[in-house]
Amino acid sequence: MRETSSIAIVSDIHFASDAEKLRRGHEARAIDNRLLRLLTTAYRRYFWLRDPFAHNHLLDRFILAARDSDLVVANGDYSCDTAFVGVSDDAAYASARICLSKLRAAFPERFQAVIGDHEFGKMSLFGGQGGLRLASWLRSVDSLALDPLWRLDLGRWVLVGVASSLVALPVFEPETLPEERATWQCLREQHIGAIRDLFRGVDANQRVVLFCHDPTALPFLWREGVVRSRIGQVRLTVIGHLHTRLVCWQSRVLAGMPRISFLGNSIRRMTEALRQARCWRPFRVRLCPSLAGCELLKDGGYGKIEIDPDAEELLSFRIHRMRRS
């Protein structure tokens, strides 16, 4: 082992297969209300992403930039999820498969992947279509070989990846199919139990870097006594999901706001997460942005951690900006 280890982190790649590219305008088509459809289109065009299918080349640029890293961690969301049901959709599955295959081929035996919310499925922003599907869970775990929970030891450092949508299932449960709900609950119980066992196995002299795609899961982890008892050993939690530092900053400002349940499922889900966002602080959260960032700031990039395997503190965590063109 070298004196120091470098870990490159990429998140929210949202690779677009040819089949997903054929679904241009997919989000607007999911909205019946004309005014809401126009507002959503404007939001996507001027703030979020003008063309969600135009950034595949950034993955190749990341692979080149991270070639000398000792480890590469992908922190979730590998497809564009244009059907809103995760990788149970063949087009989204093709996107995720191509994306992960590129990363695994570039970094054999030094790659770890976290499951994001779009792997399982996520209801459209305002259209109310889609949601979590058990078929997406099965494809994620069996066909894409994504491990819901993993641990990697680097000296006295323990790297841990969790499946945030399972941890935060109480928030996402209304997006599941009624006939699948009991199975999702069982999967969550198993996942939480495995997380408890993992944290019990962390020695007092070890330090933890946690990879958790969606910070909505962090308050639920905080409720687990064994996790809370080790929270002083968690030196860094790397999140994705928010894409841009602007949304991360807004989330911190709005932490503690009341839940809004009368403006649709997406607003309910987002405000429920923000209501509990004060619990993020003990986890020492840092955002790894999407490769493309947002349209307004064009602040995309990837993260890099430097670790001395014998040290008590991280040497550094930095975001490296990536130009789109």
C-alpha 211/C-alpha 238 separation (Å) is 5
| Calpha distance 84→123 (Å, rounded) | 6
Confirm if 195 and 151 have CB atoms less than 8 A apart.
no
Mean pLDDT taken over the chain: 90
SS3 of the chain: the string is CCCCEEEEEEECCCECCHHHHCCCCHHHHCCCCHHHHHHHHHHHHHCCCCCCCCCCHHHHHHHHHCCCCCEEEECCCCECCCCCCHHHCHHHHHHHHHHHHHHHHHCCCCEEECCCHHHHCCCCCCCCCCCCCHHHHHHHHHHCCCCCCEEEEECCEEEEEECHHHHCHHHHHHHCCHHHHHHHHHHHHHHHHHHHHHHHCCCCCCEEEEEECCHHHHHHHHCCHHHHHCHHHEEEEEECCCCCHHHHHHHHHCCCCCCCCCCCHHHHHHHHHHHCHHHHHHHCEEECCECCCCCCCCCCEEEEEEECCCCCCCCEEEEEECCCC
Task: For 48, list phi and psi in degrees, rounded to 5.
Answer: -85, -85
Q: What is the pLDDT of residue 43?
A: 79
CB 55 within 8 A of CB 291: yes
Q: What is the CATH number of the domain that holds 314?
A: 3.60.21
Residue 325 has pLDDT above 90, yes or no: no
Average pLDDT over residues 289-301: 93
Tell me if the pTM is above 0.75: yes
Number of structural domains (the chain) is 1
pLDDT at position 154: 95
**What is the span of the domain harbouring residue 65?**
5-321
11-59 confidence digits (pLDDT tens): 999 999 999 999 998 877 777 788 878 887 887 888 889 999 999 999 9
Instruction: Express as a percent the part of the chain with pLDDT over 70.
Output: 90
**Tens digit of pLDDT for each residue in 110-137?**
999 999 999 999 988 765 789 999 999 9
Q: What is the mean pLDDT of residues 81-92?
A: 97
Q: So what's the pLDDT on residue 37?
A: 81
Residue 253 has pLDDT above 60, yes or no: no
Residue 264 has pLDDT above 60, yes or no: no
